[in-house]
Amino acid sequence: MTFSTRMAQALDARRAADGWRQRRLVTRNDTRTLEVDGVTYRHFSSNDYLGLSQHPAVIAGWRQGAPGAGASGHVTGYSRCHAELETRLAEWLGYPRALLFISGFAANQAVVHLLAQKNDRLIADKLAHASLLDAASHTPATLRRFHHNDVMSLTQRLATPCDGGSLVITEGIFSMDGDSAPLAAIADATRRADGWLMVDDAHGIGVVGEQGRGSCWQQGVRPDLLVVTFGKAFGVSGAALLCSEAAADYFLQFSRHLIYSTAMPPAQASALLAALHEVQQGDALRQRLNDNIQRFRAGAAALPWRLMPSQSAIQPLIVGENGAALALSQRLAQAGCWVSAIRPPTVPPGTARLRITLTAAHQKEDIDRLLEALHDAAGE
């Protein structure tokens, strides 16, 4: 089969399954509202949970740094801003070291690719992020998946003998279901099996825990490897790996993602320093976000679609079939609310959904307008 034939068949199948993905040109985005094709919508598909992408201090921080690093951190791309950000992150989260990566996807890939060798095993939550599962499937290690948030299932897999190391992989708050992992129990099971625990806390950092320190801090857990990303509550982009001194040295010496990739721009590191300060001082923002979550959940209780039991900013409304999810998304857009439909393969077949995300930037009237639009759609 030629490349052209293979591509044509795949594209035809994607269209037929109502799974076609389409980018839309956004001309303005202030987290609360979104302008697409000249039309302004209330925005309910943003991961900017605290609204910090619009914060004056974060914007000013970006303007203070150089727009490009010019090289990898191993050459000349490691600036004072990078070093200060790593030091402050490590101190804040209680780790000896922090290493910066250009994205959360890159950080997850780097960790799994480098650590997982022949005879090792990776035991990942069934709903772990695609970046983790993709990396795991391309290593010589054995990949096993445990039932979502099921510690007994994890324990059973850990009980199987292994000649190498065991790396347990999970998320703090899951990106598509919005629920939290039982990290304390997972950490205990991993420790008893003499394994390492890796947690991707992309959707918990900045939002939960004292000073927004995240899911692990909230549950009293310090995993061996903690990945935090900056494209959600920090309002910027990039990621960091929190780890031991030895692990940091190992990654600096052997991680191809660090050695052969241009470092994040100093301007980005400078903006992240400002964002970190706002996150640490952001109790009022977190309270506003939590108030918005509770307001939405109370108003959505009577809807005919299944609302996942999430207490996070991610509020998934399960619609079922792809076409129905797309139709509901379009109906909400007609009512002035932008909510993206999420379909397989991002989520399991038959669970197409509206992934409603709430932020501290939303006002009460925004939540009420979304609820009104949803109830109107249900009545139709």
Q: What is each CA distance from 342 to 64, 129, 148, 347, 378, in whole angstroms?
A: 37, 14, 19, 7, 19
Summarize the confidence of residues 324-343 as an average pLDDT: 94
| Model confidence pLDDT, tens digit, residues 162-202 | 889 999 999 999 999 999 999 999 999 999 999 999 999 99
Give the helix/strand (H/E) hosting 69: none
| Model confidence pLDDT, tens digit, residues 80-121 | 999 999 999 999 999 999 999 999 999 999 999 999 999 999
CB 169 within 8 Å of CB 112:
yes
- Nearest-angstrom CA–CA distance, 228 and 213: 10
Residue 129 known to bind ligand: yes
Summarize the confidence of residues 204-212 as an average pLDDT: 97
List, as one string, the DSSP characters of 256-267: HHHHSSPPPPHH
DSSP state of 353: E
Amino acid at 119: N
List, as one string, the DSSP characters of 125-182: ETT--HHHHHHHHTSSSEEEEEPTT-HHHHHHHHTS--SS-EEEEEESB-TTT-PBP-
Alpha helices in 17-124 (DSSP H): 56-63, 80-93, 104-115
pLDDT grade, residue 207 (50/70/90)?
Answer: very high
Is residue 316 predicted with pLDDT exceeding 90? yes
Q: Which residues of 142-158 are buried (b: 16+ CB within 10 A; e: fewer)?
A: bbbbbeebebebbbebb
CB 318 within 8 Å of CB 308:
yes
Most distant CA pair in the chain, distance: 61
In the CATH scheme, what architecture does the domain 56-280 have? 3-Layer(aba) Sandwich (3.40)
- Nearest-angstrom CA–CA distance, 101 and 377: 42
Q: Which residues pair with 316 in a beta bridge?
A: 355
pTM: 0.93
Q: Which fold has domain 24-50+282-379?
A: Aspartate Aminotransferase, domain 1 (3.90.1150)
Q: Which residues are tagged catalytic? A: 47, 129, 171, 175, 200, 203, 232
Q: Could you give the dihedral angle defined by the CA atoms of residues 359, 361, 366 and 370, in that order, rounded to the nearest 10 degrees?
A: -20
Q: Which pLDDT value is given to residue 226? A: 98
Q: Which pLDDT value is given to residue 288? A: 97
Q: What is each CA distance from 295 to 34, 47, 288, 369, in whole angstroms?
A: 22, 18, 11, 12
Answer with the residue of higher pLDDT: 344 or 71: 344
Summarize the confidence of residues 280-299 as an average pLDDT: 97
- Nearest-angstrom CA–CA distance, 334 and 341: 14
Residue 155 known to bind ligand: no
pLDDT grade, residue 380 (50/70/90)?
Answer: confident
Summarize the confidence of residues 309-320 as an average pLDDT: 95
| Model confidence pLDDT, tens digit, residues 22-37 | 888 889 899 999 999 8
Residue 33 known to bind ligand: no
Summarize the confidence of residues 73-78 as an average pLDDT: 81
pLDDT grade, residue 65 (50/70/90)?
Answer: confident
Summarize the confidence of residues 288-310 as an average pLDDT: 95
Residue 21 known to bind ligand: yes
Q: Which residues pair with 171 in a beta bridge?
A: 200
Residue 138 known to bind ligand: no
Q: Poorest-confidence range of 133-142, 217-226, 243-252?
A: 133-142
Q: Which pLDDT value is given to residue 67? A: 75
pLDDT grade, residue 137 (50/70/90)?
Answer: confident
Domain limits of the chain? 24-50+282-379, 56-280
Q: Which pLDDT value is given to residue 138? A: 86
Q: Which residues of 223-251 are buried (b: 16+ CB within 10 A; e: fewer)?
A: bbbbbbbbbbbbbbbbbbbbbeeebbeeb
pLDDT grade, residue 377 (50/70/90)?
Answer: very high
Residue 346 known to bind ligand: yes
Percentage of the chain with pLDDT > 90?
A: 81
Q: Which residues pair with 357 in a beta bridge?
A: 314
Summarize the confidence of residues 242-254 as an average pLDDT: 96
